[in-house]
Amino acid sequence: MTNSKELKEKIIRELAVKNLANAESVVGIRRDDFTSEDFQEIHWAIHENVKRHINEWRIEEVITFNGHYGGDFYGEMKKIMLLHQSADLSKYDELGSLVTDPRKMIFKETYPVEQWIEVEQALSQSQQQTQIEQPPKSNFPFGGSGGSSGSGKY
């Protein structure tokens, strides 16, 4: 833990300029590498980074264990996760567990409740804003309303 403060500062600096999904300093860190205070600061920086890039994230129930082990099927296990749009949900290890990338996949259970609620609210606002910005799509071939053009002939 002697490098806790230096590593924390490196991570926070990188998160200030990069999206979490591309932050190399986050790869391979363990909670045990930091003091409790430093880890909380890193988690807060990650949380703020996710909110800053919220339009690239979604919440989804994901199969974290595909149920296949040793030729037998034990049943799937699902968990709720915060996922970056580039998260790969197709890779499972030899034990049937989802191979996760901590920069792109965050388990709900590891998030403080108050911060998870903030993420849900930010996602909801982002989705509402996207719907407002996009005009309604027409079901008609050339964007028309489907109304008569006058002659009634096609």
Token pair of 112, please?
């403080």
Q: How confident is the model at residue 148 (pLDDT cuts 50, 70, 90)?
A: very low
Cα-based angle 131, 52, 60 (whole degrees, multiple of 5): 60
pLDDT at 154 exceeding the cut of 70 = no
CB 110 within 8 A of CB 79: no
pLDDT at 129 exceeding the cut of 80 = no
Three-state DSSP at 21 gives helix
Higher pLDDT, 63 or 43: 63
pLDDT at 104 exceeding the cut of 60 = yes
Could you identify the residue written with the tokens 């008609």?
A: 140
126: nearest Cα among 53, 47, 49: 53
Which of 7-21, 37-51, 83-97, 123-137 has the weakest average pLDDT? 123-137
- pLDDT for position 92: 92
The pLDDT tens digits for 45-98 are 999 999 999 999 999 999 999 988 778 888 899 999 999 999 999 999 988 999
Question: How far, in Å, CA of 130 to CA of 128, rounded?
Answer: 5
**Domain spans, the chain:** 4-132
Q: How confident is the model at residue 31 (pLDDT cuts 50, 70, 90)?
A: confident
- pLDDT for position 149: 47
Is the pTM here over 0.75, yes or no? no
Percent of the chain at pLDDT above 70? 82
